[in-house]
């Protein structure tokens, strides 16, 4: 039985990933700020729920009383706005959660991780391209991919892999918030706002959360033992 850690496991992509690994028979630990959300994810499974501020070094360290076989750094945050209007506080918050949080999580995981271990970051298509009004988010996710690619080289000889999954807009509450933001900004109906959000995806739809889960599961599998330093885009051809 593998020991699997999922940060940001209280909702959205993290919840679906955690539930999938638990259903496969792995022992899953989920960590996030809100314990009530973690308990909803846990349901009637034997998942372990732990509080976490992924930007706080001591909080991250507290997760690693035992080694994990698979560590999925999924916790994330976003802030929209043009660079000229973006506050330093918003910039620092996004960097702390999205980039520093992945660094802290992976650094602690490597203190005990054994050969065959898997480090997986849930990044974004924003790791691979820029976008208007998402400068902080895109910069942080570009940083995540740089970290993944560099760390992959460091850990390769030890039999550990480090990869990133880069989804487009996924059908989760975070995407719903993005749609509502477009509605508020442009005064368009919700269906048109949703179409604008997925305009860059040739399939013209949001990514299903199960499609992201499948990509993560593959990278955690024995069949992906030579996949290292890779950015796996789940974007319908956008990337």
Q: Provide the 3-class DSSP secondary structure of residue 44.
A: coil
List phi, psi (to 5°) of 118: -130, 125
Q: Provide the 3-class DSSP secondary structure of residue 47.
A: coil
With beta carbons less than 8 A apart as the criterion, state whether 52 and 32 touch: yes
Tell me the C-alpha to C-alpha distance, in Å, between residue 46 and each of 16, 28, 128: 15, 8, 36
- 75: which strand partners? none
Which residue among the candidates 137, 168, 198, 215 is catalytic per the annotation? 137
45 vs 34: CA distance, rounded Å:
18
Whether 68 is catalytic: no
Active site residues: 137
């Amino acid at each position: 039985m593998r020991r699997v850690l999922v940060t940001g496991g209280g909702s959205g992509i993290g919840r679906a990933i955690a539930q999938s690994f638990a259903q496969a028979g792995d022992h899953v630990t989920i960590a996030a700020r809100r314990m009530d959300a973690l308990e909803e994810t846990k349901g009637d499974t034997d998942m372990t729920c732990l509080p976490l501020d992924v930007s706080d070094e001591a909080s991250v360290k507290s997760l690693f009383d035992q080694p994990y076989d698979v560590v999925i750094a999924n916790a994330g945050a976003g802030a929209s706005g043009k660079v000229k209007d973006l506050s330093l506080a918003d910039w620092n918050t996004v960097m702390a959660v999205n980039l520093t949080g992945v660094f802290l999580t992976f650094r602690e995981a490597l203190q005990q991780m054994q050969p065959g271990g898997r480090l997986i970051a849930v990044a974004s298509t924003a790791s691979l391209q820029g976008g208007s009004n998402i400068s902080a988010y895109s910069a942080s996710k570009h940083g995540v991919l740089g970290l993944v690619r560099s760390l992959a080289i460091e850990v390769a000889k030890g039999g550990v892999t480090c990869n990133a999954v880069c989804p487009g807009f996924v059908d989760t509450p975070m995407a719903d918030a993005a749609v509502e933001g477009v509605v508020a900004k442009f005064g368009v109906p919700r269906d048109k706002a949703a179409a604008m959000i997925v305009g860059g995806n040739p399939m013209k739809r949001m990514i299903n959360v199960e499609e992201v889960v499948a990509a993560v599961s593959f990278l955690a599998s024995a069949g992906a033992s030579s996949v290292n330093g890779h950015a796996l885009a789940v974007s319908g051809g956008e990337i």
